Amino acid sequence: MLVTMLVDVAAPIGLYYGLTAFGVSDLIALMAGAVVPALATLIRFARTRRIDMLGVFVTSMLVLSLIVSATGGSVRLLLVRDGWLTGVAGLGFLMSLRARRPLAFGFSRRLLERRTAGNRNWDDLWEENARFRRIWQITTVIWGFGLLVDMGVRTLMAYTLPVHLVPALNGAQYGVFMVLMLVIVNVYHARAGLWEILSPPEDERSGRDEHSGRDERSGHDGVTGSDRGTGSDDKRTAR
């Protein structure tokens, strides 16, 4: 993840400022920086032979912005491409509310499902707990609208600020946005009771374990009793 961020975010910014320092025009420097993530996607595909849908999406948006900017000579259009990416991502989050599971559920599940004290299966929680479903639907809405706001801020910067400032501010905004969104989402999760669902009280977990143990013992006793009964029948048959 860190390597991907360095290649897709930091490398284009560094390349832009490096090229402009040697007198290369803003348009050419931005176009050169936009090529880096596309090349990284192709290299990852050559190594793994797996299609990275996010990488394909990013590359497609970059190629489109390059074509439009090259034909129109618009530096501002290249600057706003990050806003396009976050805007489309925001729409994707909101559209996922109509899917079987919203995007926020899938992304967070990989990080949290096996790290909470309850060790509960999220598919079971989704089917059984209406509050759990509601939490992830609202979380998806928060991320969706947050990404759309991020798009608006990036677009405003691209068309109002000096060109030389925008690439650095765009890169810094990724970090600020992520920290701000994580704080908002975690505050909401705490207030909505997500951690209570994922990490139930000790006595509740003990009750579940005890109930499970009784079920196992009952099954074992049933099998043992059946074996004893079968042995008695065998003895009577032999007599």
138-167 confidence digits (pLDDT tens):
999 999 999 999 999 999 999 999 999 999
86-141 confidence digits (pLDDT tens):
998 899 999 999 999 999 998 888 878 776 656 678 888 999 999 999 999 999 99
Could you count the other beta carbons within 10 Å of the beta carbon of residue 134? 11
What pTM does this model have? 0.74
CA 121, CA 125: separation in Å to the nearest integer?
A: 6
CA 210, CA 204: separation in Å to the nearest integer?
A: 10
**Which of 141, 135, 169 minimizes the C-alpha distance to 155?**
169
The DSSP secondary-structure symbol of 161 reads S
